[in-house]
Structure 1
């Protein structure tokens, strides 16, 4: 059963963290919600990051004028192409670079160009922000284009954000849902690989070299650029190494192509009960635990489905 809560119910009365969904319907609406947010943060001396798609990036940079020189900018369509790398590689990276200071971030991970395949990973990301940043001294404002995004997307924005802002009015979301419950809801079985997918079953000490060779040859035949083939081999190696270390039964790699995308699925009998796995960077003193973060960094999209006795990672590499 899904439960709802207000921001203070979930994060605690004294929590300094705010996560706000900004619903906008025009460029003027967008700027009215974002420019004062940035300038208020700058006036308090806090660091500011703007990570939005390029069109809105240019729009906001121009509207800020000279103030833009004090802001860090990132094109979310590039830095956050894979929603699974936004938390460790964009948001937490920025927050951790400014210890002891309140950070303010505009992050727009959902835009009309997102595909249906990417969308579940986007919702999971937005939900898990609330768990990853709980207790941190930060405000994250997430714009949503209410003109062009569908009703389901806007409904989910109310579920992933404790606070919602429209036309200058900010209020607690009545639909806000516990982030771990929402992540579990979007932990959905993936469609079966196509019947013509190339398949390799692996196990034992030779698994890593066999899997790397297999995906390399398949990617070469599909016309994947050489640099992406190297990244694919590293990502698969990380996942297969987890199989060898943590399971006794081996696993399977399947590869195929879709329009403009090379897809590789790695599955085994393991289980990932923590949805934040791969989205938080391990402490630098820990020698292990970086593999899934690295996989998210390398791929254009990572979809995951996990349950006791079965986990599958679906890696997407754009052609």
Structure 2
């Protein structure tokens, strides 16, 4: 069964959720939403981003009208981490949406792939769903997030409801993000090495390469670590793991109180001071920030 809203007046970011368990239910939720987008003045054609089978069912239901809709396989859209999805969405809206970001998008995460491969990964995508309400708040984009119970599962669907304003269990995004951040991080690995003399890019790159990361990956990891270290002052740094998973943990003598830190796309291609966490989130699989007692811990995991 699907759950969605209809008759919503145009305005700032409109973030909806549909839950379905069959191709027919997906089509039943998507068709009126796409029709709403087609009827919205000043908007480009609506777009469906979903699993190939769901897109095919939608094309069949639309018939000749399918020419008026954009179709994107979700594995072509969701190609990396949740932070990558933020960048993808922001870039698409800047290039393809109408004035103020006006466009209707059906969006189905790849719950049968990266997003659903672990509890940790699923939590990152729930965070993305929650923070989207803040990140895209100024935009007049209308999104229908499609959750297929055949791949997402009941636990993910229940948590996702808390990130969507059109449900009865919607949580404030800051509160939900804080709840996710309250889960303790695993302790450093037994092979943890303490960096001395500051966080030097060459030292991090050499360590990562010696631990099995190809040189290009070691370079990206080292750049991410040094960009995060620029948030300092750094009072301690640890490195551990081996390819494909290398981890750095930085202790900072300051708090990073903003849960959106590193998620807001920079206005220009060249990073400015304080924007390095954006680069780190784009490069690393996970970037965790934990605050307490006037300090912060930033942990970066590559791969």
Q: Which runs of 5+ in 1 are unaligned?
A: 1-6, 8-12, 164-172
Distance (whole Å) between structure 1 residues aligned to residue 275 and residue 282 of structure 2: 11
Deviation at 1:105, TM superposition (A): 2.2
Matched, 1:301 2:286: yes
Q: Which runs of 5+ in 2 are unaligned?
A: none
**Is the CA contact 1:198–1:254 (under 8 Å) kept in the aligned structure 2?**
yes
Q: TM-score, with normalisation over the residues of structure 1?
A: 0.75
Considering Cα pairs closer than 8 Å and 6+ residues apart, tell me whether 1 or 2 has the greater RCO.
1
**Is the CA contact 1:121–1:303 (under 8 Å) kept in the aligned structure 2?**
no
Q: TM-score, with normalisation over the residues of structure 2?
A: 0.79
**Is the CA contact 2:189–2:240 (under 8 Å) kept in the aligned structure 1?**
no
Aligned residue in 2 for 1:229: 218
Deviation at 1:235, TM superposition (A): 0.6
Deviation at 1:278, TM superposition (A): 0.9
**Is the CA contact 1:215–1:255 (under 8 Å) kept in the aligned structure 2?**
no
Match of 1:277 among 234, 256, 261: 261
**Is the CA contact 2:44–2:98 (under 8 Å) kept in the aligned structure 1?**
no
Within a 5 Å distance, the mapping from 1:45-56 to structure 2 comes to 45-52=43-50, 56=51
Aligned residue in 1 for 2:91: 93
Aligned residue in 1 for 2:242: 257
**Is the CA contact 2:127–2:180 (under 8 Å) kept in the aligned structure 1?**
yes
What's the Cα RMSD here? 3.1
Deviation at 1:79, TM superposition (A): 4.0
Within a 5 Å distance, the mapping from 1:69-148 to structure 2 comes to 71=70, 73=72, 75-76=74-75, 79-87=78-86, 89-97=87-95, 98=97, 100=99, 101-109=101-109, 111-113=111-113, 114=116, 115-148=118-151
Aligned residue in 1 for 2:298: 313
Further displaced range: 64-73 or 108-117 = 64-73
Distance (whole Å) between structure 2 residues aligned to residue 68 and residue 262 of structure 1: 46
Query: 1:144-188, CA deviations, whole angstroms, 9 ceiling, x for partnerless residues?
Result: 22234343322211110012xxxxxxxxx1111111111111112
Alignment length, in residue pairs?
A: 283
